Chain A
Amino acid sequence: MVRLIDVEMKYGNGTEALKGVNLRIDDGEFVFLVGASGSGKSTILKLITAEIAPTKGRLMVNGYNLNNIRPRQVPHMRRTLGVVFQDFRLIEKKTVKENLAFVMRAVGASKRETRRRLDYMLGLVELTDKGDCYPYQLSGGEQQRVAIARALMNNPSMIVADEPTGNLDPDRSKEIMTLLSRINDMGTTVLVVTHEKKLVDSMNKRVVAIRDGVIISDEMGGYYNEKD
């Protein structure tokens, strides 16, 4: 669940990245966020993950009011989110399993619980036999699947992905989108920032388009008629 009400974001250097954004994403939705480079897509995601705070407007995420959230609460809010990045951001010195396990350790889960969840997640992203590999031993698509598995480890209610297919070829991209769609079918809310027009069109989901910090269209069915 995400609510942005008249949100404005002005960075320290004076850049107005968002100029009054209203956005509502309900539990269980699958939403694409599209727009030209520099239009403010990543800024919206950073607001949702509480990396930055809005200069104006109200912001709610999964029941947390981010306008007056206490710093101690931020980790708890983040555990309700799974974050996926374009560049995967796996820890290079840890194996796939260790990369996944530490997320659960960070929230104080038991070893047995962690192992059970680990096996399940590796199965879900079809990497059961790569558990002991290091990230550099995997292809880009495989690395991104590990990152998605990591995002799901704590069983978050929402996945937030910033151009998850930006570094992948079309076939891998399709695979990742399909995986995200499957995860959505299992009940997890998904918000994906992407540039892949064909993919967006083919998936028939809700598409929110943003330009220069303003939302210019928000429609079901998924088309992408912005030229960029």
Chain B
Amino acid sequence: MGYYLGEGLRSIKNHAMMSFSAVCMIVGCLLIMGTFTLLAVNLEHMLGRLEAENEFLAYIDETYTTDQAKALESQVLAVENVSSAEFVTREQALEQYRQDRQDNELLSELPASALRDRFRIRVHEIGQMEDTVARVRAIDGVVNISAQVEVAQGFVLVRNIAGGVALVLVAVLLLVSIFIISNTVRLATFYRKEEIAIMKMCGATNAFVRWPFVVEGAVLGLNGSLLAFFLQWGIYQFVCSAVIQSNGLSLLTVIPYADMARQLLLTFLGTGFVIGVGGSLLAIRKFLQV
């Protein structure tokens, strides 16, 4: 084991420039991957919060009696994607209204008949809110709807795009990184082609020849991922503070880096390792056929 490590490190030292550029490329790839993943994770998180408030109000025709209005509940519940429907009478609504705006003298005089009975409706999937709203609106007796569909739709769209972009980027960059490492190790093997041929001629197994290069790839990959992890940290803090400062609506919330650090570090290390080892194995495959 000491031998493999020694040989692997020796090779990195012998190709210092190339090893350095390989690490830089890995760092770059991981950073792009990490940034988009963090963006997607944060959007998902915000969406989750939004979904916790994923309700809208359906107002009932004021000519309906309270009993008639309440009878619509089964119809509302039958609509696809509706998870719950809470009936609120106009009296309850007024009470709520007053509580929310205690300081307003005028409102205290407002008669309950000025308001409508309503259902407070929650949905399962915020992405399908628009559909759901349309179906509830189509129920006889429902006269109006108040929903923030646009906000929800916007978030879903951005989340989906970011998620998709992150996925594609991760796949592409993974391949790019493996390719880069593979080229680095390929050059290293090229310089040591003679040496490999001699080893094989002396009866060395493929495993014996392969190990130092695998170690080399793994060391490069792990170093790159460590570096990327800390750089990502810096970038994230910087972007987060900017977002929080410019955050007029408190709609935007960010997850603290520390909350994700462990998982991110493990992911980076894992990815770096896979890139490094995968690239090495790819590179030395054909040199072993002596």
Contact = CB atoms under 8 A, between A and B. Distances in A.
Q: What class of interface size applies to chain A in its complex with B?
A: 20 to 34
Main SS of the interface on chain B?
helix
Interface in B195-246: 195, 197-206, 208
Interface stretch (A20-28, A73-81, A126-134): A73-81
B187 to A, nearest CB: 16
B202 A154 contact: yes
B6 to A, nearest CB: 11
A81 B3 CA distance: 24
B258 interface: no
Given A51-B290, A89-B194, A89-B198, A154 B3 contact: no
A105 B203 contact: no
A150 B203 contact: no
Interface in A91-107: 91, 93, 102-103, 105-107
A116 to B, nearest CB: 18
Contacts of B194: 89, 91
Contacts of B205: 72, 75, 106
A58 B193 CA distance: 31
Interface in A14-52: 49, 51
A106 B203 contact: yes
Interface of A: 49, 51, 72, 75-79, 81, 83, 89, 91, 93, 102-103, 105-107, 150, 153-154
8 contacts: A51-B290, A72-B205, A75-B200, A75-B203, A78-B202, A91-B194, A106-B208, A107-B203
Given A49-B201, A78-B203, 17 more contacts: A72-B205, A75-B206, A77-B203, A78-B201, A78-B202, A81-B203, A83-B202, A89-B198, A91-B195, A93-B14, A103-B203, A103-B204, A105-B3, A105-B208, A106-B204, A153-B202, A154-B202
